[in-house]
Amino acid sequence: MGQPMGLRLIEQNVPLIAYNRTAAKLQLLQEKGAIVTNSPEVAIKAADCFILMLADSAASEEVLFSDASRPYLSDRTFIQMGTIAPTESQRLHDAIVAAGGEYLEAPVLGSIPQVQTRELIVMVGSTEEQFNRWFNLLKHFSPEPIHIGPVGTAAATKLALNQLIVSLTGAFGLSLGFIERYGVDVEQFMQILRQSALYAPTFDKKLSRMSDRNYANPNFPTKHLLKDTDLFLEQARELGLNLNSLEGMRQIVQKAIDLGFADDDYSAIYSAIND
């Protein structure tokens, strides 16, 4: 996600310094005009705003709070756009504010194609004033970034949406497997489903991948879906919600990873349901 987001900023003439620990992954951004570095402190020192789009909260902490980066955190704004837990986001906020910086969370719904068409749904957890100040920057990714509330609320909203990704995909995969095993015509089943209140557009988006067992070239890999499922389970357990169904789905996502689909499209959970 970081690369297409960086490309989008370059297209919009936003001056960009791009960091990745793996230099090879910066090549395209460099060719398109970004200054690139594999030292986070170089980017933090040079910019007034640092967008974090890393795998998880541990990665963000590693990048920000090394001895080399820490001295440059003051008077900078950090916008964390990956999917992390509300408590992790609050911890990042507190550590950045303690170091003299500012922090917003702005997780996104949508994937690489929506970055390219500026159709991400950007949900912001921050003060009203911070939201207004950074609105135009966030508008490069979304027609209308949404202010949810203080830090933690946007992270919670994002996890609630990703819980639907895993549960809807698993529920559809189970019905599809049932239909396939019974030898019922899949297109006829889909026609009925599409007319019904049970239909969700994600079913058609994943149907051909599931039918063909083709999970290559993912926008969102299975390993990140497992991460988000675990984040949701951890937070929801503390809230006392009944998690029986999601715990079952977690086992299915883990099985897909055990089958070797960690870096493939998350619709690979179909192979864990109907192999």
Ligand X SMILES: NC(=O)c1ccc[n+]([C@@H]2O[C@H](COP(=O)([O-])OP(=O)(O)OC[C@H]3O[C@@H](n4cnc5c(N)ncnc54)[C@H](OP(=O)(O)O)[C@@H]3O)[C@@H](O)[C@H]2O)c1
**Which residue ranges make up the site for ligand X (CB under 6 A)?**
1-2, 20-22, 25, 53-56, 59, 62-63, 82-83, 108, 111, 219-220, 224
- Taking each helix axis from N to C terminus, what angle separates 153-182 and 186-195, rounded to the nearest 10 degrees? 140
CB of 127 to ligand X, least distance (A): 23
Name the minimum Å distance from CB 180 to ligand X.
27
Supply the minimum distance, in Å, between the C-beta of residue 162 and ligand X: 8
Chain center to CA of 243: 22
Q: Which residues, other chains included, contact 74 with Cβ-Cβ below 8 Å and sequence gap of 6+?
A: 99, 100, 101
Least distance CB 220 / ligand X (angstroms):
4
139 burial (CB, 10 Å; 0-12 / 13-18 / 19+) is middle
DSSP 39-90: -HHHHHHH-SEEEE--SSHHHHHHHHSSTTTGGG-TT-EEEE-S---HHHHH
Q: Select 20 or 222, whichever has its Cβ closest to ligand X.
A: 20
CA proximity to 75, closest of 47, 106, 53, 94: 47
Nearer to ligand X, 114 or 193 (CB): 114
CA angle 82, 139, 50 (to 5 degrees): 45
Q: Which is nearer to ligand X, 88 or 102 (CB)?
A: 88
Cβ 240 to ligand X shortest distance, Å: 26
243 vs 21: CA distance, rounded Å: 36
Return d(Cα 233, Cα 239) in angstroms, integer.
10
* Of 92 and 193, CB closest to ligand X: 92
Would you say 99 and 74 are in contact if contact means Cβ atoms under 8 Å apart? yes
Distance between CA atoms of 73 and 95, rounded to whole angstroms?
Answer: 10
Nearer to ligand X, 194 or 205 (CB): 205
Q: Which is nearer to ligand X, 236 or 262 (CB)?
A: 262
> Minimum distance from CB of 206 to ligand X (Å)?
14
Contact by Cβ (8 Å): 104, 153: no
Give the residue with the Cβ less far from ligand X, 54 or 268. 54
User: Shortest Cβ distance from residue 188 to ligand X (Å)?
Assistant: 31
